[in-house]
Amino acid sequence: MGPFYWVRHAESDWNAANRLCGRTDVALSEMGRLQARRLAERFAALPVEALYTSPLRRAVETAEIIAERHGIQPVVEPSLVELNYGAWEGMTFAEIMHRDGENFRAWDADPGAVAPPGGESGEEALARITPFLDMLRTRHPQGNVVVVSHKTISRLIVCHVLGLSLSEYRRRLTMDNAAVSIIQPEEPGWRLVLLNDISHLAVPGTSPPTADGAF
């Protein structure tokens, strides 16, 4: 079975401001559009069979820029939507600590089992994603599929692939804007081939144009 390319969407305006951007439908920033074009260049020579995307605008726009090179239409997949951060949507790390420190500390200790107030736990999010993974390996046995999703969802998928506890996804995994990870089916599960690659964002002599928040 071939590889599946798991992509975190390019930078949004709220990513640049370090604001939690779960279900809030925020557009890409100008930097994000540049990152998406770099992603499109990276995938230009790949025979992409299908492209799936979260329904949120920042993911859809990233997917559309990639898909344009291949003459295909991204398929919107509702289960790929970002974690629901509930009452914390739009807040910065400092604002949450100031306004809701007790709940934040409980969530930070075990984000797999604990949900933000009015939001969703990592376990709940992964439960809605795993059927989509099962569908991918059945429908696309040759691989070469690009999936555009979000930071937390991408880290939960990596935990699932590696058998890591979901309580560790924030402490042990980084996922930058426009990063590419590769997973590959391997009975009875999956194998991680590449994690958080942003080499396509670099211009010779410069650092990659990426802005990643504390969450």
pLDDT digits 0-9 by tens, 88-134? 999 998 999 999 999 999 999 999 999 999 999 999 999 999 999 99
Write the pLDDT tens digit of every residue in 164-201.
999 999 999 999 999 999 999 988 889 999 999 999 99
C-alpha 86/C-alpha 194 separation (Å) is: 31
User: Is residue 173 within 8 Å of residue 165, measured between CB atoms?
Assistant: no
Average pLDDT, the chain: 93
Tokens describing residue 95: 């604002």
Q: Is the pLDDT of residue 56 over 80?
A: yes
From residue 198, how far is each of 59, 80, 181, 204 by CA, in Å?
A: 17, 21, 9, 13
> Is residue 52 a contact partner of residue 113, using CB atoms and an 8 Å limit?
no
CATH level 2 (architecture), domain 4-201 = 3-Layer(aba) Sandwich (3.40)
Domain layout of the chain by residue ranges:
4-201
| Active-site amino acid positions | 9, 82
